[in-house]
């Protein structure tokens, strides 16, 4: 079995800016000394589009083949801004950084990738897609209500999106390890945001 997902990768400078914001947010929302918030390592930061989950090894080549040709969409600029916690109510599970400019284009890429994967036998995700970067996860119930402690976050970083990567993820004791299996470039003419 192979654990697969598709994602928009972050450039090194964007990763560093996001990591700085991640550390600041973690300090702000940790409500106890032994808070169970576990941060995503800087090298693993990415914007997940479709999480495929565990896929039988014999199905992987068809998925790689589906995720290799260019996508007929233009590259675009994406802005990482705002933050929040999933779910919106109840125990906090995920600390995230949102997408401002470029959110609608990210949804279009998600739709195109979902369609490709569906043609390769991967069922379409039923939940609505909310573009975001996962910064951390609470392993246990957070003490208090960290939502009340979230500061306002403006623009953290901007990046051009020009490809989607299919990753194989291995869960190791020191954290997940991601290996790229395929990449689909966005091949229509570039569109700048105003």
Q: Which residues lie across from 33 on neighbouring strands?
A: none
The average pLDDT across 67-72 equals 96
- Would you place residue 91 in the very low, low, confident or very high pLDDT band (cuts 50, 70, 90)? confident
- Would you place residue 117 in the very low, low, confident or very high pLDDT band (cuts 50, 70, 90)? very high
Cα 166 to Cα 28, 65, 115: the distances in Å are 33, 10, 14
Which range among 39-43, 142-146, 178-182 shows the weakest confidence by mean pLDDT?
Answer: 142-146
Whole-structure pTM value: 0.90
Instruction: Specify the residue for token string 């229509």.
Output: 188
Q: Is the predicted pLDDT of residue 162 greater than 60, yes or no? A: yes
Per the prediction, the chain carries an average pLDDT of 91
Structure confidence at residue 140 (pLDDT): 81
Pairwise CA distance, residues 153 & 158, whole Å: 14
Structure confidence at residue 172 (pLDDT): 74
- Token pair, residue 125, equals 């995700």
What tens digit of pLDDT does each residue of 93-112 get? 999 999 999 999 999 999 99
What tens digit of pLDDT does each residue of 3-56 get? 999 999 999 999 999 999 999 999 998 876 667 899 999 999 999 999 999 999
For 2-185, CATH number?
3.90.1140.10
Residue 86: strand, helix, or coil: strand
């Amino acid at each position: 079995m192979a654990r697969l997902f598709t994602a928009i990768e972050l450039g090194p400078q964007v990763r560093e800016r996001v990591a700085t914001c991640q550390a600041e947010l973690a300090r702000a929302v940790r409500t106890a000394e032994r808070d169970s918030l576990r941060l995503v390592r800087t090298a693993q930061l990415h914007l997940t589009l479709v999480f495929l989950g565990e896929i039988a090894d014999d199905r992987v080549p068809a998925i790689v083949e589906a995720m290799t040709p260019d996508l007929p969409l233009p590259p675009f600029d994406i802005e990482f801004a705002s933050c929040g916690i999933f779910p919106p109510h109840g125990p906090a599970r995920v600390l995230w950084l949102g997408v401002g400019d470029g959110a609608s284009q990210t949804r279009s890429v998600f739709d195109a990738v979902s369609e490709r994967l569906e043609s390769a036998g991967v069922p379409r995700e039923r939940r609505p897609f909310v573009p975001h970067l996962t910064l951390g996860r609470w392993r246990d119930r957070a003490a208090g209500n960290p939502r009340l402690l979230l500061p306002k976050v403006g623009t953290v970083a901007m990046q051009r999106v020009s490809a989607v990567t299919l990753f194989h993820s291995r869960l190791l004791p020191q954290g997940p390890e991601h290996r790229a299996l395929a990449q689909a470039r966005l091949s229509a003419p570039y569109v700048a945001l105003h």
